[in-house]
Chain A
């Protein structure tokens, strides 16, 4: 590594007679400085790439010749084809939440609060975040892998030479479809979660469907829905953007398809959590 350090320093400034004066410590320090500078440079390059990608998506979204057919195809793909997974997970979240909460509420004699408590926690937090994380896994990774494999097999370039703007056709349609469909999936998961909760409440108790739902909605007001719906749009946009960015900028080898899919899930999930924290703080301040 020491000789590498000398080579690097000589590349930066060939006039430096490194061997003549440099001690081992100064060479190590130089090596570390170069490594840190390169890491910082890579980070800034990646960050600027993301910003440029985002700006291009925004610009192409409002340009002419919007790809409506592909947009509706993506809406179907993201929305309809995710229904089975979202249905099962949504119902299970409500069911498990009820089964876990019930004993504690029974101890306090507050079992009548169960429908309201479950509904509020589902609509405000559990539904949006868990559904978004599931979508990050299913939709984000799907976009990363699909666009990544299209990049590897030159399909994106083929699109470009066919006078088609791949950014508009592939990225804008997917990002918009995710931004619109994920909030709908979240609301659907909320509804099924409350249904699952009713099933959970009936495992050890006996409460009618109408009574359970009237109790649940009695405790929910508009301000429970609004912040959750707003943050759901951001979750959808982030999942779409990250999935497309990772896929669109995948490397050339087949290995990069896996990397794109994997990193799309990791980054999208992380950003969903971070966005949720920010959304909760903002909602808390405003209310």
Chain B
């Protein structure tokens, strides 16, 4: 691991001293058969920050956030979210914890058989059980306005473009007021203009809903637009950690190949 960041005081180090982490990962390991995907990953996500995790395809970025949310079982290490170790939680406890976490999937993962409204109502009626139908409707309209698609309420996912699907998927994620957002390649497959719009939306969500986010990406523009702090993964390990400026000025060949 490159330790350049430890020499340079940055926003991250100031966060470390002032705020408790909402997610703390210690020595996380994950393998598929004989292939080690995550070797020894340790990181912290601090309250209110956008942490961008960069890395080449196959570097273990998506596996990392799937381990965080318990979709994949880690082989070793600790994942503490709000001081609860995800690896030791039972199904019900994990379900409770997931209510505080929003996960934006790479593909959007909208339910094909449901309209946009039903897609948004699905997690809402399960997580916010105390809300009446009218209140749920208001909440759905509010988040659709946030993502700029208030008129898509009764459309089917098949009627939406790639960018619209991402926005609706984001709306479905924030509709339950999560405290942590996990974005898996939020701009992959989108044109540069739509990518920028999604990046701005990520910042807007952070400000409006006071979320702490991990953004998995290999899109440098997305990282530039959203990152408070950056971690680069390489071969399943943390290769570099620091603020964006540190990465932009780095002489390391691998980092330069990303930030050229």
B88-100 contact mask (Cβ, 8 Å, vs A): 1 or 0: 0001000110110
Chain A stretch 149-204: residues in CB contact (< 8 A) with chain B: 149-150, 153-155, 157-165
CB distance from B1 to the nearest CB of A (A): 30
- CA separation between A155 and B69, bound complex, in Å? 15
A161 and B71 within 8 A (CB) = yes
B126 and A163 within 8 A (CB) = yes
Question: Contacts of A163 on B, CB cut-off 8 Å?
Answer: 95-96, 98-99, 123, 126-127
A154 and B105 within 8 A (CB) = yes
Chain A stretch 36-94: residues in CB contact (< 8 A) with chain B: none
Tell me whether B194 is interfacial, beta carbon within 8 Å: no
- CA separation between A157 and B105, bound complex, in Å? 9
CB distance from A253 to the nearest CB of B (A): 13
B95 and A149 within 8 A (CB) = no
B122 and A162 within 8 A (CB) = yes
Interface size of A by Cβ–Cβ distance < 8 Å?
Answer: 15
Q: Which of A146, A153, A165 contacts B109 (CB 8 A)?
A: A153
Interface size of B by Cβ–Cβ distance < 8 Å?
Answer: 23
Question: Contacts of B46 on A, CB cut-off 8 Å?
Answer: none
Count A-B pairs with CB separation below 8 Å.
50
Tell me whether B106 is interfacial, beta carbon within 8 Å: yes
Tell me whether B252 is interfacial, beta carbon within 8 Å: no
Q: Which of A150, A153, A155, A164 contacts B126 (CB 8 A)?
A: A164
A164 and B112 within 8 A (CB) = no
Q: Which residue of B lies closest to A164 (CB)?
A: B126
A154 and B126 within 8 A (CB) = no
CB distance from A70 to the nearest CB of B (A): 11
* Highest count of chain B CB atoms <10 Å: which of A149, A153, A155, A163: A163
- CA separation between A157 and B104, bound complex, in Å? 11
CB distance from B104 to the nearest CB of A (A): 9
A157 and B98 within 8 A (CB) = no
A160 and B71 within 8 A (CB) = yes
Q: Interface SS of chain A: helix, strand, loop or mixed?
A: helix
B112 and A153 within 8 A (CB) = yes
CB distance from B95 to the nearest CB of A (A): 5
Question: Contacts of A165 on B, CB cut-off 8 Å?
Answer: 91, 95
Tell me whether B103 is interfacial, beta carbon within 8 Å: yes
Question: Contacts of B259 on A, CB cut-off 8 Å?
Answer: none
CB distance from A122 to the nearest CB of B (A): 35
Q: Which residue of B lies closest to A163 (CB)?
A: B95
Tell me whether B101 is interfacial, beta carbon within 8 Å: yes
Tell me whether B111 is interfacial, beta carbon within 8 Å: yes
- CA separation between A153 and B71, bound complex, in Å? 15
- CA separation between A162 and B96, bound complex, in Å? 10
- CA separation between A228 and B106, bound complex, in Å? 48
Chain A stretch 232-249: residues in CB contact (< 8 A) with chain B: none
A154 and B98 within 8 A (CB) = no
Tell me whether B3 is interfacial, beta carbon within 8 Å: no
Q: Which residue of B lies closest to A160 (CB)?
A: B71
- CA separation between A149 and B99, bound complex, in Å? 25
- CA separation between A262 and B134, bound complex, in Å? 43
Please report A residues at the B interface, Cβ cutoff 8 Å: 146, 149-150, 153-155, 157-165
Interchain Cβ contacts under 8 Å between A and B, 5 examples = A154-B105, A157-B105, A158-B111, A160-B98, A163-B98
Additional 4 contacts, C-beta under 8 A, given A155-B110, A158-B105? A162-B123, A163-B99, A163-B126, A165-B95
5 nearest A-B pairs in the assembled complex, by CB-CB distance: A158-B109, A162-B123, A154-B109, A161-B103, A154-B105
